[in-house]
Amino acid sequence: MSSERKRRKAVVDQFLCVACGYCVKVCPLQAIAVIGGVTARADVQKCVGCGRCAAECPASVIEIQEANS
Amino acid sequence: MKKRWYDYLWIASALYLILSFFNILFAWLGLLCFFIPLGIALLGGNKGYCNRYCGRGQLFSLLGGRFGLSRKKDVPRWMKSKVFRYGFLVFFFAMFFSMLWSTWLVFSGAQDLKQAVTLLWTFKLPWNWAYHGTILHHGVAQFAFGFYSVMLTSTVLGLITMIVFKPRSWCVYCPMGTMTQLICKAKNRKEA
């Protein structure tokens, strides 16, 4: 295992997202938004990868992934 | 996070179900849950209703979340598939139009008023305490019985999936949510 610390971010499966907006409600940093009523998208600048949205998403279509940046 | 007035709309949803239980004519108010989301999607091109104002979603997250009535398991893959969501939308609308047809039959005098609520499109429950006649046509009450059947059926389905899966599992296959998302897709593709 690498000791290097990677940033973790919420990634939404935009094909399966139902745009209910519950992730927006539970995000403590307002780092996720529903774009045009079609899908949710996390703001990589604000997201700290806490995983709250992933846990609460009714459709379970949000994953916390390690980002390269 | 600071609570806004619309975070309490679950009270309106609960009140709607309770009031209509005792007086079926309150069921007409449920049309707001149809026209407001459609209006927001058509005019605003967003799912503001789902995102903020849906009292039913709030009720499920309250019961399943704070009251701990949910197993909090992932919904199965098929439930979030487009085939199931669009299929359920079509089925729901077919049932809705069949309900409108029964209402029309009462309005036209071809059928008598049936004081019953049909649960899960199958079980006819006698419901003779909720209507005692008004100056209005019986068809007005027939629509209310039919509409309350739709609302109660979706609540029961939502409660079942709330218990078995995540609190707001209903949002995954909610016909209004699917329809408003389709409208937003069409609208925002044109504008983009």
Report chain B's terminal Cα–Cα distance, integer Å: 33
The answer to whether residues A8 and A49 touch, using CB atoms and an 8 Å cutoff, is yes
Q: Is B46 exposed, middle or buried (0-12, 13-18, 19+ CB in 10 A)?
A: buried
Query: Residue B144: which domain range?
Result: 5-191
The closest alpha carbon to B53, from B73, B69, B76, B32, belongs to: B32
Name the residue in chain B with its Cα closest to that of A24: B51
pLDDT tens, B174-189? 999 999 999 999 998 8
Give the number of domains in chain B.
Answer: 1
Facing residues of A10 across strands? Answer: A64
Residue B71 near chain A (CB below 8 Å): no
Residue B61 near chain A (CB below 8 Å): yes
Structure tokens given for B22: 């005792």
Taking CA atoms, A34 is separated from A12, A41, B45, B62, B188, in Å, by 11, 6, 12, 22, 13
Structure tokens given for A39: 């899908």
pLDDT tens, B69-94? 999 999 999 999 999 999 999 999 99
Domains located in chain A, CATH noted: 7-67 (3.30.70.20)
Q: With residue A64 as reference, give the H or E element that holds it.
A: strand A62-67
Residue A60 near chain B (CB below 8 Å): yes
What tens-digit pLDDT sequence spans chain A (69 residues)? 555 667 899 999 999 999 999 999 999 999 999 999 999 999 999 999 999 999 999 999 999 999 865
ipTM for the predicted complex: 0.89
The answer to whether residues B90 and B102 touch, using CB atoms and an 8 Å cutoff, is no
